[in-house]
Structure 1
Amino acid sequence: MDIDFSLIIYHFYQLGIAFALALPIAYNREYKSDNAGLRTFPLVAISACAFMLVGREVYQDGEAEARVMYGIITGIGFIGGGAILKNSERVAGTATAAGIWLVGAIGVTVAYARYEISLVLCALGFFIFQFSDPMKKHCGVKEPDE
């Protein structure tokens, strides 16, 4: 079995992009939330990217790739569900769970080399997390949803 070093470099490049695009959102969550942060978000992004890269290499038809993507989406949903905490007074962690799903989508879009979508997802996600608290306070929301 011959090793294709150009493919290794390309995949390393794609995983690096997924990692880098998850960092702004991860940084925000690390400092504004007690839940997931700088470790979880990049790991989800590169894992989703890696699973999709493998799926694209192993399965050459769209139907099988769609099943891989479905598995990624479902798995990330379970991870996000673990970030949500509910007590008798409030629910916390829904924004973090949505952010985990968002970085998973970033990973999948990077695997398909749809960098324009990845960049938009990164920018919008960071913008929402960074600037939603002041907007929520302006609207009279007492406790931010972390």
Structure 2
Amino acid sequence: MDLVFADMFPESRIHYPVIFARLIGAVILGGLIGIEREARDHPAGFRTHILISLAAALFGIISIEAVHMPGIADDQQVRIDPLRVIEAVTAGVAFLAAGMIVFARGRVKGLTTGAGMWLSGAIGLAMGFGYWPIAFFATVAAVCVLYAFGKMEKRLSASDEKDHR
């Protein structure tokens, strides 16, 4: 039974409270972007953005931890290539985001939601790698862009419609 518990809680390079804090941070920051999308009734909303951010953070943490696993790091020198992790997460999230983009009635829809999903992945990676200030700033910037610029965009399109009448 001791072996099972030892396997369930292996030694970690990043202390478990820090790992959990990073994952919670990814949930909160991804959720902030998702709330705005949810408020505008877009299909990829609150939960989707949280899951994307959480998954990206988890991939970042696992990539750091995997390098130091017993059996991998013992006999050989293993180096982490953070660019490969970033590329893998980017490709996966881009696949999801592309599914949100639709061309209908001569208009493109879902592009901003897809971009928000992609950004949630990047914010999750920043959290997973421990770059709290970068993740926080990117989230604040994203919410400002989505909310404030969204209002401005609506005003501009409403004035364009009036001009065309």
Secondary structure, counterpart of 1:86 in structure 2: strand
User: Would you say how many aligned residue pairs link Structure 1 and Structure 2?
Assistant: 142
Structure 2 residue identity aligned to 1:71:
A
In the alignment, what sits opposite 1:73?
90
1:28 aligns with 2:46: no
d(CA) in 1 for partners of 2:49 and 2:157?
29
Deviations 1:52-101 (Å, cap 9, x if unpaired)? 110111135242x3212210010000010011111132111000000001
Which amino acid in 2 is paired with 1:102? Answer: L
Determine whether 1:108 maps to 2:116: no
1:57 aligns with 65
Q: Deviations over 1:93-140 (max 9, x none)?
A: 000000001111111111121111111110010011111222113434
SS at match of 2:46: coil
Q: Which amino acid aligns with 2:16?
A: I
Query: Residue in 2 aligned with 1:42?
Result: 50
Mapping for residues 74-93 of structure 1, pairs under 5 Å: 74-93=91-110
Equivalent in 128, 139, 142 of residue 156 of structure 2: 139
**Aligned partner of residue 91 in structure 1, secondary structure:** strand
How far has the Cα of 1:10 moved from its partner?
2.0
Percent identity at matched positions? 26
Q: Which amino acid aligns with 2:147?
A: Q
Taking the aligned partners of 2:102 and 2:54, their CA distance within structure 1 comes to 25
Which runs of 5 or more structure 2 residues have no equivalent in the other structure?
A: 68-77
Q: Bigger radius of gyration, 1 or 2?
A: 2
What RMSD over aligned residues (CA atoms) do the two structures have, in Å?
A: 2.1
Contact 2:30/2:49 (<8 A) preserved = yes
Q: Residue 14 of structure 1: CA displacement?
A: 0.7
